[in-house]
Structure 1
């Protein structure tokens, strides 16, 4: 089985706002960006984050897809749509020191996110499918790679996941192998 994880294309965020659950729009050129993506093969299963920026890409594949709340980006709670530079230091400094366990008010920690993504990943790996496409976010893709490679969760930001690029994972005999990144 192959599972292709793709990050949505670039978003419109000139003010460098904090966003995860917030439905920030794709760049106006998103249709042109979509034309550059490689969907030469069909997928048995297509799953998308319910975020509009992902669903637009899932629709572009012209294949039936389902959405799953568990593959949304991290929930930054009260920080959503605030400029990173304007989040009070007293709120964000503890998070910078321990983003794995600390959460924004009314949000979730990286560990919370990892738990929901892990549940999704376990389920998707059990589906009867030759080829699956998951349209999601950088944070979700990093968490899945962390689950496969089993490195410390606090190191996930050492992986760059580009907009509109795929990570290809092959699963055979219970072994998950990351074959390609940012293709």
Structure 2
């Protein structure tokens, strides 16, 4: 199985708002961004995050896709659409100290997100009748999938750069994963 993971294109966020589950628009000129995307036409399965910033990409290329809630970015709860600088220090500092276990106010922590992503990933990779898959999603989701495949410590997941509008390609062959391409 060949699995293509693509991050949505750049968003319009000049105020540096915290967002994950919240809808935030793609940047002006996003149709121009779409021109540089490499979307092939031979996918057996196409799954997108239900976030508009992902669905716009799928709709633009007229892809026959389904959405899956598990492919959403991290749920930042009460912090969603607040400026990062406006989140109270007593709320954000514990999370900064341990984003793996500390939940965002009214949201989730990285372990919660990992559980939902791996639920999707394990279900997908157990399919035997699928050769090529496209997943349209977010940087956090892609990082967690790469963490599962490469088995690096969870606290190192932000060491991997996931560019807007770029693909990661992972192969699964006889139970063995290999990362073939990154940010292409």
- Could you tell me the TM-score, scaled by structure 2's length? 0.97
Unaligned runs of 5+ in 1: none
Question: What are the within-5 Å matches in structure 2 for residues 117-156 of structure 1?
Answer: 117-127=117-127, 128-156=129-157
1:52 positional shift: 0.2
What are the Cα deviations for residues 27-63 of structure 1, in whole angstroms up to 9, with x where unaligned? Answer: 1211111111011332110000000000011122322
Deviant stretches of 4+, over 2 Å: none
CA distance in 2, matches of 1:55, 1:167: 18
SS at the partner of 1:162?
coil
1:85 corresponds to:
85
1:19 corresponds to:
19
Q: How many residues align?
A: 183
Stretch moving more, 125-134 or 42-51:
125-134
CA distance in 1, matches of 2:81, 2:29: 22
- Give me the CA root mean square deviation: 0.8
2:34 corresponds to:
34
Unaligned runs of 5+ in 2: none
1:110 positional shift: 0.4
- Could you tell me the TM-score, scaled by structure 1's length? 0.98
CA distance in 2, matches of 1:173, 1:58: 30
2:5 corresponds to:
5
SS at the partner of 1:155?
helix
1:66 corresponds to:
66
1:179 aligned onto 2:172: no
1:24 positional shift: 0.4
